[in-house]
């Protein structure tokens, strides 16, 4: 093998060049003595990482410099963060200790680096405790938000430079990114970073779709730019006449958001009209921001007719993450809808860089949405008995939410996620108000607890001392606070009932001459397939388990495995893996050599040969095969990384796999006959079912067919599209896209 020759001098020069670019990026925030501190951090980082290289063969030091550059340039952070970004890996990867850092740079830097080191293992490949670690990471967020911001910069750079990593690592990092980091960036108002993280994840998780949309966007680029120029010209002219200074440009939508729109509306790329948004950025002094924005809105809507339903005013009431802007959709010069966003320079910086920009503008930060958000996270973290995975789901639920504003009877404003119910509002006011809530008056009309609140509602809560939280409340509350409080009340109630059950069980076992001891309680719990002994006591108290059942237990001589079913251990995983008789030990071959392995195809995504797939180890059903773009893949990879097995198909044609096609077209006599002829006669494909619906001359149908692999399916789709009157044929996942249980 040819020895790789490394030009150390050239590398040294490149490191210095990158360091100087970093200094230029941080220029605006530098105070006296800051440059010296950054230089010191840079030198320690260079020295500590001098013998390390990245997967691409580049010197490792390129990575910390790049993370610091993102923190300074794209998030707008200051010197402390730049120092921490440069040093973010030294404590973990080298001999430098936290005490050394504190001695050189002080307590604050040491604390942030401690936070970053703690969370660097959040997504360690072998860890099944991602959720627990994620919770630790958020605890450090509650101390200093810069920990998360630097972590986001670190993840962004890793995603940008991921092409040299093995495929399974790429998929794993991408699914975590889309599952946690992108929503986190969104919630902190870092829209530019959120979009890029989503696009980069998609680039690896859905390669073909990503490349297809990218190619399409490039093909239409010149035409789009001409349209934007024609649209902007008249607006610019009138703004200048009115004495308003503004930058106007067209900004393409991200590939990920275009793909989302195609999926959501089930339309092809050609029918996505708003591929870009026009942005008007005004240069206005603070006291004129609002009036100038509305003046610009008035100019745009005089020139182009607005869609009255599409005005969004986030200037009068900004989003919880600080976002301020006016959005409207207008009819452009060529008869197509165009989204226009109007905001000032300050608002734009906050929209792009989130709260970091807030600090720069020093707006009464104690009242900023960021502080409210961090307080909510703190409150969630204090809840001691919330299970870590529930916590993760609750937290994510709050990450994704958009806000509505609700008024109390006295006119105070309370912010809640959209879809919040009257009961969420009650818990938001106080846990006791929530726990004893029996109903509410919305705008003076009586409504049930599950009533979905609308923006601007005024709500009065009605309570009763006899009310206690109910299990079914969990089905309709949406805020993490309400969920956590209800769960802990129900646990308390269940614990009380279980105490009684314990005494009853003791008496019943005595009558059967069975000793009441830990071992027997454990065996009984497994016999009745219950997760804990508390559930056993609870079921006894409720009469679900009675003396007859206990006698059956006594009679049965079944050996009960002394391990909880829902805890799949590392050893089990390893032993299952060892059974895989594959040519390549760490890849699961699906197909011919598979008699030895118990595997099933997941019903949530119906994989067929040719699809990109992975195996997921379950406790009771062996290995389940999922498509990598399955709706549940991100959740499984992010939460149970250690249970994922690489998998690929071996060539095989004798087996048939069920998949579904959705067909749309113009209803025509004999259309179904033509379709079934193509499927059965031309392709010799078996159909399991066909359902058809015709409405005002439009034909929609779903057909379940058996195919051999993706190539077979693609050919069938191509052939069906040629049938006269058919407008679209698409493959769909099965309706049961419910989350794969981790059992």
Query: Which residue, of 164, 180, 202, is where some domain finishes?
Result: 164
Residue 620 and residue 710 in one domain? no
Q: Confirm if 276 and 250 have CB atoms less than 8 A apart.
A: yes
Provide the 3-class DSSP secondary structure of residue 456: coil
Q: In what order do the strands lie in the sheet with 698-707?
A: 687-695, 698-707, 657-666, 726-732
Residue 629 and residue 725 in one domain? no
Confidence tier at 127 by pLDDT (50, 70, 90): very low
Q: Worst-scoring range by mean pLDDT, 134-148, 344-358, 380-394, 602-616?
A: 380-394
Signed CA dihedral, 352, 358, 360, 363: sign only: positive
Q: Worst-scoring range by mean pLDDT, 302-311, 582-591, 680-689, 709-718?
A: 582-591
Q: Please tell me the distance from the alpha carbon of residue 679 to that of residue 682, in angstroms, as a whole number.
A: 6
336-377 tens-digit pLDDT:
888 999 999 999 888 887 655 655 554 444 445 556 666 666
CATH code (residue 711): 3.30.70.260
- Region 463-482 average pLDDT: 90
Q: Please provide the distance, in angstroms rounded to a whole number, between the alpha carbons at the two ends of the chain.
A: 47
Confidence tier at 382 by pLDDT (50, 70, 90): low
Residue 330 and residue 264 in one domain? yes
Structure confidence at residue 159 (pLDDT) = 94
Structure confidence at residue 549 (pLDDT) = 79
Burial degree of 99 (CB within 10 A; 0-12, 13-18, 19+): exposed
Residue 146 and residue 254 in one domain? no
The pair of structure tokens assigned to 659 is 């998949």
Q: What is the CA radius of gyration of the chain?
A: 30
Residue 3 belongs to some domain of the structure: no
Nearest alpha-carbon partner for 152 in 75, 223, 209, 217: 75
Looking at the structure of the chain, the number of domains it has is 4
Residue 486 belongs to some domain of the structure: no
> Does the pLDDT of residue 714 top 70, yes or no?
yes
Contacts (Cβ under 8 Å, ≥6 apart) of 155: 177, 181, 197
> Does the pLDDT of residue 740 top 50, yes or no?
no
Residue 600 and residue 673 in one domain? no
Structure confidence at residue 204 (pLDDT) = 93
Q: Confirm if 626 and 205 have CB atoms less than 8 A apart.
A: no
Q: What is the DSSP string of 553-582?
A: HHH--PPPPSS-TT---HHHHHHHHHT---
Residue 518 belongs to some domain of the structure: no
Nearest alpha-carbon partner for 244 in 296, 304, 286, 279: 296
Residue 416 belongs to some domain of the structure: no
Residue 412 belongs to some domain of the structure: no
Confidence tier at 236 by pLDDT (50, 70, 90): very high
> Does the pLDDT of residue 558 top 70, yes or no?
no
Residue 108 DSSP one-character state: H
Confidence tier at 302 by pLDDT (50, 70, 90): very high
Structure confidence at residue 557 (pLDDT) = 37
Domain assignment of residue 321, given as a range: 214-361
For the chain, percent of residues with pLDDT exceeding 90: 25
Residue 169 belongs to some domain of the structure: no
β pairing state of 623-627 and 599-601: parallel
Residue 48 and residue 142 in one domain? yes
Confidence tier at 581 by pLDDT (50, 70, 90): very low
Structure confidence at residue 641 (pLDDT) = 75
Active site residues: 92-93
List C-alpha distances in Å: 272 to 254, 258, 262, 339: 13, 7, 7, 13
> Does the pLDDT of residue 601 top 60, yes or no?
yes
Residue 15 and residue 159 in one domain? yes
CATH code (residue 257): 3.30.460.10
Confidence tier at 413 by pLDDT (50, 70, 90): confident
Q: Please tell me the distance from the alpha carbon of residue 279 to that of residue 343, in angstroms, as a whole number.
A: 8
Query: Which residue, of 361, 396, 429, is where some domain finishes?
Result: 361
Q: Worst-scoring range by mean pLDDT, 40-54, 80-94, 112-126, 139-153?
A: 112-126
515-542 tens-digit pLDDT:
888 878 888 888 888 878 888 898 888 8
32 compared with 348, residue with greater pLDDT: 348
59-108 tens-digit pLDDT:
999 999 999 999 988 888 888 889 999 998 888 888 888 899 999 999 98
Nearest alpha-carbon partner for 15 in 35, 43, 36: 43
CATH code (residue 56): 1.10.3210.10
Ranges 419-423, 635-639, 663-667, 717-721, most confident: 419-423
- Region 501-510 average pLDDT: 87
Average pLDDT over the chain, rounded to an integer:
80
Residue 632 and residue 684 in one domain? no
Burial degree of 10 (CB within 10 A; 0-12, 13-18, 19+): exposed
The residue with tokens 């981790």 is 742
Residue 25 and residue 154 in one domain? yes
Query: Which residue, of 649, 683, 705, is where some domain finishes?
Result: 649
- Region 170-194 average pLDDT: 84
Residue 677 belongs to some domain of the structure: yes
- Region 167-185 average pLDDT: 85
Q: Worst-scoring range by mean pLDDT, 29-33, 132-136, 660-664?
A: 132-136
Residue 40 and residue 12 in one domain? yes
> Does the pLDDT of residue 735 top 50, yes or no?
no
Residue 620 DSSP one-character state: S
The pair of structure tokens assigned to 742 is 């981790």
742 compared with 164, residue with greater pLDDT: 164
Q: Please tell me the distance from the alpha carbon of residue 115 to that of residue 137, in angstroms, as a whole number.
A: 7
Beta carbons within 10 angstroms of residue 331's beta carbon: 13
Residue 12 and residue 156 in one domain? yes
Q: Please tell me the distance from the alpha carbon of residue 37 to that of residue 212, in angstroms, as a whole number.
A: 47
- Region 657-664 average pLDDT: 85
Structure confidence at residue 300 (pLDDT) = 95
For the chain, percent of residues with pLDDT exceeding 70: 80
75 compared with 461, residue with greater pLDDT: 461
241-287 tens-digit pLDDT:
999 999 998 888 899 999 998 888 888 888 887 788 899 999 999 89
- Region 429-456 average pLDDT: 90
Q: HEC profile for 37-65?
A: HHHHHHHHHHHHCCCCECCCCCECCHHHH
Residue 18 and residue 160 in one domain? yes
Nearest alpha-carbon partner for 118 in 95, 99, 138, 104: 138
Q: HEC profile for 386-450?
A: CCHHHHHHHHHHHHHCCEEEEECCCCCEEEEECCCEHHHHHHHHCHHHHHCEEEEEECCEEECCC
Nearest alpha-carbon partner for 71 in 84, 57, 60: 84
Structure confidence at residue 196 (pLDDT) = 94
The residue with tokens 């493959």 is 731
In this prediction the pTM is 0.66
Q: Please tell me the distance from the alpha carbon of residue 626 to that of residue 614, in angstroms, as a whole number.
A: 6
Residue 196 belongs to some domain of the structure: no
């Amino acid at each position: 093998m040819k020895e790789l020759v490394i030009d150390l001098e050239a590398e040294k020069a490149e490191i210095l060049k990158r360091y100087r670019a970093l200094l230029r990026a941080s220029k605006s925030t530098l105070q006296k003595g800051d440059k010296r501190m950054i230089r010191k951090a840079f030198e320690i980082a260079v020295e500590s990482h001098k013998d390390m290289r990245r997967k691409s063969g580049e010197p490792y030091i390129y990575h910390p410099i790049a993370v610091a550059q993102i923190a300074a340039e794209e998030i707008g952070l200051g010197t402390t963060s730049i120092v921490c970004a440069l040093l973010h890996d030294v404590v973990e990867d080298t001999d430098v200790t936290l005490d050394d850092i504190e001695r050189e740079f002080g307590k604050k830097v040491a604390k942030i680096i401690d936070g970053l080191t703690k969370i660097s293992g959040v997504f360690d490949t072998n860890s099944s405790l991602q959720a627990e670690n994620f919770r630790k990471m958020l605890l450090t967020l509650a101390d200093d938000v810069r920990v998360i911001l630097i972590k986001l910069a670190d993840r962004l750079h890793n995603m940008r430079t991921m092409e040299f990593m093995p495929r399974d690592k790429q998929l794993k990092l991408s699914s975590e990114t889309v599952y946690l980091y992108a929503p986190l960036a969104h919630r902190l108002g870092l829209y530019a970073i959120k979009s890029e993280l989503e696009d980069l994840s998609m680039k690896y998780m859905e390669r073909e779709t990503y490349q297809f949309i990218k190619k399409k966007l490039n093909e239409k680029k010149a035409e789009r730019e001409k349209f934007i120029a024609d649209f902007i010209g008249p607006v610019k002219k009138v703004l200048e006449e009115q004495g308003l200074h503004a930058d106007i440009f067209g900004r393409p939508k991200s590939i990920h958001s275009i793909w989302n729109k195609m999926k959501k509306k089930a339309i092809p790329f050609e029918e996505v009209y708003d591929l870009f948004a026009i942005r008007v950025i005004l240069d206005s002094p603070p006291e004129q921001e609002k009036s100038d924005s509305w003046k610009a809105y008035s100019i745009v809507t005089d020139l182009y007719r607005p869609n009255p339903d599409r005005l969004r005013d986030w200037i009068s009431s900004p989003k919880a993450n600080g976002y301020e802007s006016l959005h409207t959709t207008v009819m452009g010069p060529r008869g197509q809808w165009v989204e226009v966003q109007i905001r000032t320079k300050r608002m734009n910086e906050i929209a792009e860089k989130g709260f970091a920009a807030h600090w720069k503008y020093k707006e009464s930060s104690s009242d900023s949405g960021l502080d409210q958000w961090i307080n909510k996270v703190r409150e969630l973290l204090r809840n001691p008995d919330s299970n870590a995975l529930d916590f993760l789901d609750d937290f994510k639920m709050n990450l994704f939410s958009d806000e509505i504003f609700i008024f109390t009877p006295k006119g105070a404003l309370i912010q809640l996620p959209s879809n919040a119910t009257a009961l969420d509002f009650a818990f938001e006011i106080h846990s006791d108000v929530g726990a004893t809530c029996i109903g509410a008056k919305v705008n003076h009309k009586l409504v049930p607890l599950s009533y979905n609140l609308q923006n601007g509602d005024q709500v009065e809560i009605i309570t009763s001392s006899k009310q206690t939280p109910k299990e079914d409340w969990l089905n309709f509350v949406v805020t993490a606070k309400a969920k956590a409080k209800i769960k802990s009340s129900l646990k308390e109630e269940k614990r009380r009932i279980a105490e009684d059950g314990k005494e009853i069980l003791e008496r019943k076992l005595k009558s059967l001459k069975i000793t009441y001891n830990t071992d027997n309680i454990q065996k009984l719990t497994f016999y009745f397939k219950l997760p804990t002994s508390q559930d056993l006591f609870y079921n006894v108290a409720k009469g679900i388990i009675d003396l007859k059942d206990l006698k059956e237990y006594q009679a049965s001589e079944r050996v009960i495995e002394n391990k909880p079913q829902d805890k799949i251990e590392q050893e089990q995983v390893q032993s299952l893996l060892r059974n895989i008789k594959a040519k390549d030990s760490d890849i699961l071959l699906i197909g011919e050599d598979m008699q030895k392995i118990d595997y099933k195809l997941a019903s949530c995504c119906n994989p067929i040969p040719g699809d990109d797939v992975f195996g997921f180890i379950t406790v009771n059903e062996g290995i389940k095969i999922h498509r990598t773009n399955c709706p549940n893949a991100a959740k499984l990879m992010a939460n149970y990384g250690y249970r994922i097995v690489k998998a690929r198909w071996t060539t095989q044609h004798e087996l048939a796999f069920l998949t579904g096609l959705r067909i749309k077209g113009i209803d025509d006599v004999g259309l179904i006959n033509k379709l079934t002829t193509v499927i059965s006669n031309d392709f010799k494909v078996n159909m399991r079912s066909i359902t058809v619906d015709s409405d005002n001359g439009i034909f929609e149908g779903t057909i379940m067919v058996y195919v051999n692999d993706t190539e077979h399916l693609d050919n069938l789709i191509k052939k069906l599209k040629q049938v006269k009157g058919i407008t679209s044929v698409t493959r769909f996942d099965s309706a049961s896209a419910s989350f794969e249980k981790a059992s």
